[in-house]
Structure 1
């Protein structure tokens, strides 16, 4: 990849359009595991670890532009043209900036948007972890679970679902994964050029998201010419995990709009949670 970066990647063959998943801060290529299971064989699928995360190598300097360049080179290597790019949380910044610069079929932005992706409590917490190198040691499970239940999930989400997600996606112990957030994503604001995204774009948000406010997603959709906002009830920051069937139905509607050259609003007309 760019700057000699090698990305840990899972690539599953299937029909077009390919769906490419970009995880958020402190996430992993396994974040969208319900979607990987649901769409295997139905679409070509790609999920990968951002530079400095998982088993991907790190570059000396983290930057959003570098992550966008990595994605471009990865898709060139896999010979994937015009995919659907799915970004989650901070990964929405990568998806947005990639969509502004390169040919794609569609975009899915979940639990993120074009600005205000950093909650007030995050900066002091991450600075503490970096200063004291707390990322090197096992974190307090009770603390992490309390944080997840408080700001990450809807109160009605089954504890079994929360635990499954936490066990499948443990916090990283590499410093580079934490600086991906602090150096690559803090302060992101892409609002001024959102009209450059001229493809069907699905913006999905959970009303109980305690990390990125739902208003950020709604405002982002308004700035995208072909954007549609969908509020998935009874979900928080990971609707794709909390209500995967409803979430996957929305993605299939996006695919229908792309394949049949339909207006995305029309393809989503039966989904009451979606707004023009």
Structure 2
């Protein structure tokens, strides 16, 4: 087991949480209000969409790094966190919620950053609405559900196990076994889990089963015709690396990056490298450059070619 120390320069979740304002509920439709953190800053804005059973706080290293540098939005999907539940769970509904939220906040043409199942929201949003860029992390346009997930979630829903705090231990063990690279510090894993406690609302679990299971956006994914950064970890035990690589291959303007020594949450495991990739992507969007060229040039100048592979 890796030692329980934070890597140099790592900012713990508690410090980030204390330094940022309290999220507020934003009414986006007659029936839906979304728990939202909105931080002012220059364009292009970055909007973070969390994955299944996730939290608006999941990208805390990015919120800390980009505060004041970019306009930032992080929110809890309907039915998750302190957001209200949707009358009906569907991917289309979550995409509509995001569009309504950005309208309420006055955010136009964002970079939409999706993590895990959140990549489905990011992809479908970018197909339908003006977007400056897209970041897909630990996901893609198909095969987002591992074989073990369906029986596990069905068991939790049938027996209502999500109501019992004792089952946090099961989720913690699952995170260690499939979510992280084996060289990732135990302190980092536990810190991430602090940002993402096990949801005890049924609606958070049905967000996964009813809105995301079976997602396949391959047929028209080429409509995402904006610079797209596709980032994956080689030790991801939830979404296979091939899904991200194949997704990048179908997108008109994309680059696939594999961040070394990471699993399903490279943004937490290697935040310095991950944030540098995001900055290269932002610069590409601002300068109107080809994303693959921008990332290759950045890696050459930064000397980070040993930290990730790109193609």
Q: Which bin holds the TM-score, normalised by the shorter protein?
A: over 0.9
Does structure 1 residue 64 correspond to structure 2 residue 91? yes
Specify which of 97, 104, 108 is matched with residue 135 of structure 2: 108
Equivalent position to 1:210, from 230, 237, 253: 237
1:22–1:88 Cα contact (<8 Å) kept: yes
Residue number among 45, 64, 75 corresponding to 1:18 in the alignment: 45
* CA deviations over 1:144-192 (Å, ceiling 9, x no partner): 2221111000000000000111122101000000000000000000000
Match in the other structure for 2:106: 79
- Cα distance in 1 for residues equivalent to 2:131 and 2:160: 39
Partner of 1:249: 276
Aligned-partner Cα distance in 2 for 1:135–1:164: 21
Secondary structure of residue in 2 paired with 1:139: helix
Partner of 1:142: 169
For normalisation by structure 1, the TM-score amounts to 0.98
Question: Structure 1 stretches (4+) deviating beyond 3 angstroms?
Answer: 139-142
Contact 1:2 1:69 in 2 (8 A): no
Aligned length: 276
RMSD, aligned CA: 1.0
- 5 Å matches for 1:116-195? 116-195=143-222
Conserved? CA contact 2:179–2:237, under 8 Å? yes
Equivalent position to 1:55, from 82, 89, 96:
82
Structure 2 gap segments, 5+ residues each? 1-27, 300-304
The residue matched to 1:8 in structure 2 has which SS? strand
SS in 2 for 1:234: coil
Alpha-carbon deviation of 1:139? 3.3
Match 1:41 to one of 52, 68, 79: 68
Structure 2 residue aligned with 1:275: 310
**2:42 and 2:267 mapped to 1: Cα distance?**
22
Task: Describe the superposition over 1:73-112 as per-residue Cα deviations: whole angstroms up to 9, x where unpaired.
Answer: 0001111110000000000000000000000100000000
Structure 1 residue aligned with 2:248, among 213, 221, 224?
221
Identify the residue that residue 27 of structure 1 maps to in structure 2: 54
Structure-1 residue corresponding to 2:14: none
Structure 1: any 5+ residue segments left out of the alignment?
none
Counterpart contact for 2:117–2:212, Cα < 8 Å: yes
TM-score by length of 2: 0.87
Q: How far apart, in 2, do the equivalents of 1:24 and 1:228 lie? A: 21
Aligned equivalents of 1:139, 1:213: Cα separation in 2: 29
The offset of 1:117, in angstroms, is 0.2
Q: Give the stretch that moved more between structures: 117-126 or 136-145.
A: 136-145
